[in-house]
Amino acid sequence: MRHLILGSGPAGIAAAKAARKMEKDAEVVIVTEEFAAPYLRPNLPDVISGEKDPSALPDPQGKDLAAAGIEVKSGKRARRVDAGRNRILFSDGSEETYNFLCVATGGKPILPLGLTGSFGAFLSLNSLSDALRIKARALRSDVSVVYGPGYLGLEAARALRKLGQQVIWVNPGLPRFGNPISGELEAKATEKLRNNGVTIKEGTDIADVLDLDGQTYIVYTTGGEEIRCQMIVVATERLPAVHFLEGSGVKVGSGILVDEYLLTNVSNVFAAGDCAEVFDINRRESRINFGWRSAMKQGQLAGENMAGGGKLYIRNTEDYFGLLYGSPLLERSL
C-alpha cells in the first residue's frame, strides 16, 4: 500500500504520521514544493523582526520522519492529478503514484487587484524564503507598506516596525476567509501598534502601484492617498491551493469538497487543512476551517481514514483560535 501526501505543513505531516501508525508496512511519502524542512509558519514574523533565528523554526511534528519510515520529497510542485490512473504529475516532469492520496497543500495569498499588474514591486509573506527576502530588503529600506487584513497584516506591521522600519499598514477591513481575530483583541493590538509608531490606513485598499526606479514605489490607495515607500509586503488572506486539481474529477468549491470523513468524491482521495472545505455534521454545512490546530486535527483524521480508520470529523471551536506556537498577540511588543 502506498499513501501519498501532498504538502509538508501541519496537516500533511499529521496525515503521514497517522497513516504510518495505522499501517506499519505501508509506504508513506510526503511530497512538497518547499525546500526547507517542515517549519512553524506562525513564527515567520519573528524571523523578520529578528526575534527568532530560522534555525529555531523547525516544526516539532516534523522531527524523526525518516526514522518513522516516512519519506519526504522536496522541491516538487504538483501540476496535475490523474485520479483515473492514481498518479500525480509534477512541474519537474516527474510523477508519483499512490493507492491513497491526501491533499494538504494549504493556501496561497490573495493579491489585491491593484497589485496584479505590478509583479516585482511587492513581496508576499507566505513562506520561510519569503520572510528571509523581506528581512533582507528591509535592511536596505526606510519605509514599508504592509497590505492585509487581520492577524497576518498586524503581525507583519509589528515585525517590520520592531526592525526599525517606518511602517504604513493598509488594512482593507475584515478578512473574507478564515477565522478573524475578535474585534476587541484586534482593536487593542492595533492601538498598541499605533502607539509604537505604525501609521494605519483602515478601510482602504491599494488601487495601483507605480515603480519609480526599481527601488522606490508610489502606492495609490482607493482613498486617494499616495504613499512613497521602498518595500510593499503583502500579508493577506490565503485561498486554498487547488489549481492543479482542474480536470482531475475531484470536486472543488472554495476549497476541496470533503465529507465528514475528510474524503472527496473520489474514493481514494482525501484532503485536510487550509485547502479542504469540510462538511460540518453539526451545522450541516461545508466550510474551510483555517488554522494550525485545525490542520493538525484534520490531517491526523485523514491519515487514519486513508488507512481504513473510518472516523468522523467533529468540529470544536477551541481548535481554531489562538496561536499554537508563540506568545499571545497582546504580549508581543516592539
Does residue 98 share a domain with residue 186? no
Does residue 220 share a domain with residue 80? no
Which CATH number belongs to the domain containing residue 203 in this structure? 3.50.50.60
Interval 176-230: pLDDT, tens:
555 556 567 778 888 999 999 999 999 999 999 999 988 899 999 999 999 999 9
Does residue 281 share a domain with residue 256? yes
Does residue 243 share a domain with residue 149? no
Query: Domain count of the chain?
Result: 2
Is residue 331 situated within a structural domain? no
Interval 154-182: pLDDT, tens:
999 999 999 999 999 999 876 655 555 65
One-letter-per-residue 3-state SS of the chain: CEEEEECCCHHHHHHHHHHHHHCCCCEEEEECCCCCCCECHHHHHHHHHCCCCHHHCECHHHCCCCCCCEEEECCCCEEEEEHHHCEEEECCCCEEECCEEEECCCEEECCCHHHCCCCCCCEECCCHHHHHHHHHHHCCCCEEEEECCHHHHHHHHHHHHHCCCEEEEEECCCCCCCCCCCHHHHHHHHHHHHHCCCEEEECCCEEEEEECCCCCEEEEECCCCEEEECEEEECCCEEECCHHHCCCCCCECCCEEECCCCECCCCCEEECHHHEEEEECCCCEEECCCCHHHHHHHHHHHHHHHCCCCCCCCCCHHHHCCCCCCCCHHHCCC
Q: Which domain holds residue 179?
A: 111-236
Does residue 171 share a domain with residue 255? no
Does residue 91 share a domain with residue 147? no
Per-residue pLDDT of the chain (334 residues; tens, 9 = 90+): 999 999 999 999 999 999 999 999 999 999 999 999 999 988 999 999 999 999 999 999 998 999 999 999 999 999 999 999 999 999 999 999 999 999 999 988 888 788 877 777 799 999 999 999 999 999 989 999 999 988 889 999 999 999 999 999 999 876 655 555 656 777 888 899 999 999 999 999 999 999 998 889 999 999 999 999 999 999 987 889 999 999 999 999 999 999 999 999 999 999 999 999 998 777 777 888 877 888 999 999 999 999 999 998 887 766 655 455 555 555 554 5
Does residue 38 share a domain with residue 79? yes
Does residue 296 share a domain with residue 193? no
Is residue 150 situated within a structural domain? yes
Which pLDDT value is given to residue 44?
A: 94
Interval 295-317: pLDDT, tens:
999 999 999 999 999 998 887 76
- Specify the pTM: 0.88
Which pLDDT value is given to residue 123?
A: 92
Is residue 209 situated within a structural domain? yes
Which pLDDT value is given to residue 284?
A: 77
Is residue 218 situated within a structural domain? yes
Does residue 268 share a domain with residue 171? no
